[in-house]
Chains A and B, each alone.
Chain A
Amino acid sequence: MTAIHRRDFLKSSAGLAALLAAGPSMPGFLASTAAAAHHAEPGERVLVIVQLSGGNDGLNTVIPYRSDQYHRLRPTLRVAPSQVHAISDDLGLHPEMVSLKSLHDDGLLCTVNSVGYPNPDRSHFRSMDIWHTASQTPESQPHGWIGRLADLSSRQQGSAPTAVHLDDGPLPLALRASRESLPSIPDLSRLRVEDPQGLVQASIGSPRSRGSDDLLYVQRVSVAACRNAARVEKVLQHEPSRSLYPDTGLARRLAQISTLIAGGFGARVYYTSLNGFDTHAQQALSHGGLLRELADALAAFQRDLQARGLGDRVLTMTFSEFGRRVAENAGKGTDHGAAAPLLIVGNRCKPGIVNPAPDLSSLVDGDLAHRVDFRSVYAGLLSGWLEVMAEPVIGPGFEPLRVTT
């Protein structure tokens, strides 16, 4: 039998229906075609984003353990060279990140150093808005970069949303779109609605001859909400994961994301976060725990994806709104800084460290200078992974950084 690529028969739903009607062997044929593919089709690739909220201290995450300045400027917060998990001659991971060290050794971790942007802003909200909109004037941007990706994707009525926010709290600016209303879900289990006679759907969806922009907005979103409920019901009927995840918030959210991906929910981007990185005081008391939660959750997620045969289809990126100052403060903590490392995890990431370690002898106002604009990383993921044109999403002028194989 000639190999038929999924994209060929997916183009024609009539053709698909005909093939499916051919008999009980059809599901098996689909499965073996997918397995035989050399790599996942671009349309099936998924990007998972884990936002580290509060300004993660990158310097104690990917540590330049041989730097004299590092040890001198951080008398209590420094990590001794014997304690780091070395990933190169001059960089090592924080002691609590042993799970990430394993990923690195298996070629599943990509580290990009000194990521930031010109004229760094040290307000949490403004800097986060800059990362979310990919713009240095976020005030002029009502929508986020993932929102723009959603608006530009030609999605048909009834198909899955381009991106899903799986977390507590409001929909992040990154996912605000103008055409699509991307969903924000704290937990999959709270999405059940009983509407056997369709009365709720009919009441929400019937046309409103008069209505303010806000009313019509709420209506549009409500209609999408009902559709998502139906879609989630189908996903939850899929087989749950057999992998073990740690008992932490982030791990639970990543486990739910894994279920959504495996169950065919169909979004291209999943967005979640880990909070608590604003370590102005007594950083040693909390930072290690957060890094461990992050590392262990990412590792469990990666193992689960591989066990489900999804390893080639998913990349995960972590980022924070800024790093922190190189010198520690009076409270044994660190204040808001600038550039920081960014991590990417997955089978298809470009493994290893893609650029040199930060140079602590050329600080800018006490902060690390950025060497890579974060939009180059976005561009690399948009064009190299999701295979969409980067410029319409994040604007012109950013050379994509190669972060995938």
Chain B
Amino acid sequence: MIPNPLSPWIPSADDPWDRSKAAHLLRRAGFEPSLAERELAFHAGLDPTVERLISTAADDPRHDELDALGPTIARRDTLGVAHLRHWWLARAVKTNRPFHARLTHFWHNHFATSNTKIRNAAAMLQQIRTIEANAAGPFGQLMLAMARDPAMIVWLDGDRNERGRPNENFARELFELFTLGVGHYTEQDIREAARAFTGWGQRHGKFRFSPSAHDENSKTVLGVTGDLDGTDIVHVAVKHPSCAEFLSRKLLREFLTPNPSPELVSGFATALRNVDMQVGSAMALLFRSRVMFDPAVRRARIKSPVEFVIGLSRSWDLSVREGSITADVAAMGQPLLEPPSVKGWDGHRDWINAGSMLMRISAAQRSAKDHLDADRWCEEHAFRSPAESAAFAAEVMLDAKPPSGVIERAAASSASPQDALRSAVAILASTPEYQMC
């Protein structure tokens, strides 16, 4: 009898909790861990580490300081979002809650609202806040909050939807992209749902309902009939059996493996339903599960540009100067707050092509050369030779398993431990192995 892959993994003498597993969990749930983070998790054990990941306790003061600057930065940006983008990334480098940072990016991708149409940084900031407040909670709550979010309303023409002349844009994407996926609704469902959302709008960055524009007549959507309004439609869609399946697949692809089996998708969908679609609780279950520690899942995902850049920054405490990481992430194909379309980024192999890979290699070089404080690292760890600092780089970045010859070559071509550290970090960050997480 095959054990349920989602049942808890129990460390044993043959299969213990070790540093490698701790690093793997931290990578999966958040970003590449610093050595300090890894040690903390290893010594704490699996359950306390998962609890810490999911916890919404206070964050690092450096993160909170940046966080408080949000509205000021949004005011500075007005139409564009360059500074807001940098603010968002910089917070993720400093945060003590990397899982929540990743989850917020996940939802940003899911709801894929682009500032190229909104052209209002304050509205985009508000949407980020709405996501963050609801990211790990019940999905129905998040979905309703997003349906009422002013940026989302503008993005999908929600405020151009009136009784008698319905606009189908939001209703279509609600079913196709946010809750059910293609094939689980009909064009008729979309037309009727559009009627239910009539009168929903926004004014001056606040949700506004206009009763006179609302179609009160009976509608039938996904088999439910009544004088349904937008809130009812969200409720019906989230309760639909396909919703848990749809979300399950997306969450598994983001946090576990690019190709989850149908059984796993189905199993995790059940788990989601069992916790009333509370995403945080379901993810905690996943982080403790057997499948999370299955060797097949280790380094099975390709990092997104955000994970690549933030992971490198967190691992080495890189100085995060405005403009550098933001431009790099965009050049690698992930301009935050401006996803290519309502469908968001597909991820995995899509991140990697001859052009974007060159961006990663180029960014790795610049980071190691300009933003890594090699003197400090060598002093703190008392490296006396190039070989020592190069080997340390491999321990931090690749579980001390670099491709053969890489560390030797980096050490041999460097005159000092500092040079060797910079060289090793640049080269290791360029390797195919480092793109996997």
Q: Contact residues of A with B, CB < 8 Å?
A: 53, 123-126, 161, 165, 168-171, 181-187, 190-194, 197, 199-200, 202-204, 206, 208, 211-212, 214-219, 221-222, 224-229, 275-276, 280-282, 329-331, 333, 335
B167 within 8 A of A: yes
- Nearest to B339 among chain A residues (CB) is A169
- State which of B162, B331, B361 has its C-beta within 8 Å of the C-beta of A222: B361
A170-B350, A186-B330, A212-B300 are known; give 16 further A-B pairs, CB within 8 A: A168-B340, A170-B346, A183-B353, A186-B355, A190-B331, A193-B365, A203-B430, A214-B302, A218-B436, A221-B357, A225-B357, A228-B358, A275-B340, A331-B157, A331-B161, A331-B165
- Nearest to A216 among chain B residues (CB) is B432
- State which of A181, A199, A214, A281 has its C-beta within 8 Å of the C-beta of B353: A181
Query: Which residues of chain A have C-beta atoms less than 8 A from B435's C-beta?
Result: 218
Choose, from B14-22, B32-40, B372-380, B402-410, the stretch at the interface.
B402-410
- Nearest to B156 among chain A residues (CB) is A280
Q: Contact between A168 and B330 (Cβ–Cβ < 8 Å)?
A: yes
- State which of A204, A225, A280 has its C-beta within 8 Å of the C-beta of B169: A280
Distance (whole angstroms) from the CB of B425 to the closest CB of chain A: 12
- State which of A165, A170, A202, A282 has its C-beta within 8 Å of the C-beta of B409: A202
Q: Contact between A203 and B341 (Cβ–Cβ < 8 Å)?
A: no
Complexed CA–CA distance, A126 and B341 (Å): 13
Given contacts A168-B330, A193-B362, contact A228 B355 (CB under 8 A): yes
Given contacts A183-B354, A184-B354, contact A199 B167 (CB under 8 A): no
Complexed CA–CA distance, A304 and B262 (Å): 53
B232 within 8 A of A: no
- Say which size band chain B's interface belongs to: 35 or more
Distance (whole angstroms) from the CB of A155 to the closest CB of chain B: 13
Distance (whole angstroms) from the CB of B250 to the closest CB of chain A: 15
- Nearest to B338 among chain A residues (CB) is A168
Distance (whole angstroms) from the CB of A90 to the closest CB of chain B: 30
- Nearest to B359 among chain A residues (CB) is A190
Complexed CA–CA distance, A271 and B437 (Å): 31
B98 within 8 A of A: no
Distance (whole angstroms) from the CB of A174 to the closest CB of chain B: 13
Complexed CA–CA distance, A226 and B350 (Å): 18
- State which of A168, A182, A222, A281 has its C-beta within 8 Å of the C-beta of B432: A222
- State which of A197, A216, A329 has its C-beta within 8 Å of the C-beta of B165: A329
**Proximity bits, B322-360, A CB within 8 Å = 1, else 0:** 000000001101010000111101101111111111110
Q: How many A-B residue pairs have CB under 8 A?
A: 174
Report the 10 A-B pairs with minimum CB-CB distance, sorted nearest first: A330-B165, A331-B160, A183-B354, A185-B355, A183-B355, A218-B432, A225-B357, A281-B160, A219-B432, A169-B340
Query: Which residues of chain B have C-beta atoms less than 8 A from A329's C-beta?
Result: 160, 165, 167
Query: Which residues of chain A have C-beta atoms less than 8 A from B427's C-beta?
Result: 199-200, 203
Query: Which residues of chain A have C-beta atoms less than 8 A from B354's C-beta?
Result: 161, 181-184, 221, 224-225, 227-228
- State which of A53, A222, A276 has its C-beta within 8 Å of the C-beta of B357: A222
- State which of B165, B333, B409, B436 has its C-beta within 8 Å of the C-beta of A199: B409
Q: Contact between B358 and A170 (Cβ–Cβ < 8 Å)?
A: no
Q: Contact between A124 and B342 (Cβ–Cβ < 8 Å)?
A: yes
Q: Contact between A214 and B349 (Cβ–Cβ < 8 Å)?
A: yes
- Nearest to A191 among chain B residues (CB) is B358
Question: What are 27 A-B pairs at a CB distance below 8 A?
Answer: A123-B172, A123-B182, A161-B354, A170-B350, A170-B356, A184-B333, A186-B333, A191-B358, A193-B362, A200-B426, A200-B427, A206-B403, A208-B432, A211-B432, A212-B300, A214-B349, A214-B436, A221-B352, A221-B354, A222-B430, A224-B354, A225-B357, A226-B358, A227-B354, A228-B355, A281-B167, A330-B160
Distance (whole angstroms) from the CB of A268 to the closest CB of chain B: 16
Q: Contact between B167 and A331 (Cβ–Cβ < 8 Å)?
A: yes
Q: Contact between B167 and A218 (Cβ–Cβ < 8 Å)?
A: no
B218 within 8 A of A: no
- Nearest to A286 among chain B residues (CB) is B117
Q: Contact between A170 and B403 (Cβ–Cβ < 8 Å)?
A: no
B132 within 8 A of A: no
Q: Contact between A124 and B340 (Cβ–Cβ < 8 Å)?
A: no
Q: Contact between A125 and B343 (Cβ–Cβ < 8 Å)?
A: yes
Complexed CA–CA distance, A219 and B354 (Å): 10
Query: Which residues of chain A have C-beta atoms less than 8 A from B353's C-beta?
Result: 165, 170-171, 181-184, 221
Query: Which residues of chain A have C-beta atoms less than 8 A from B167's C-beta?
Result: 280-281, 329-331, 335
- State which of A126, A197, A225, A276 has its C-beta within 8 Å of the C-beta of B358: A225
Given contacts A208-B403, A330-B167, contact A199 B358 (CB under 8 A): no
Which of A170, A212, A219 has the most chain B CB atoms inside 10 A of its CB? A170
Distance (whole angstroms) from the CB of B316 to the closest CB of chain A: 18
Q: Contact between B330 and A200 (Cβ–Cβ < 8 Å)?
A: no
- In chain B, positions 162-207 with a C-beta closer than 8 Å to chain A are 162, 164-169, 172, 176, 182
Complexed CA–CA distance, A197 and B365 (Å): 14
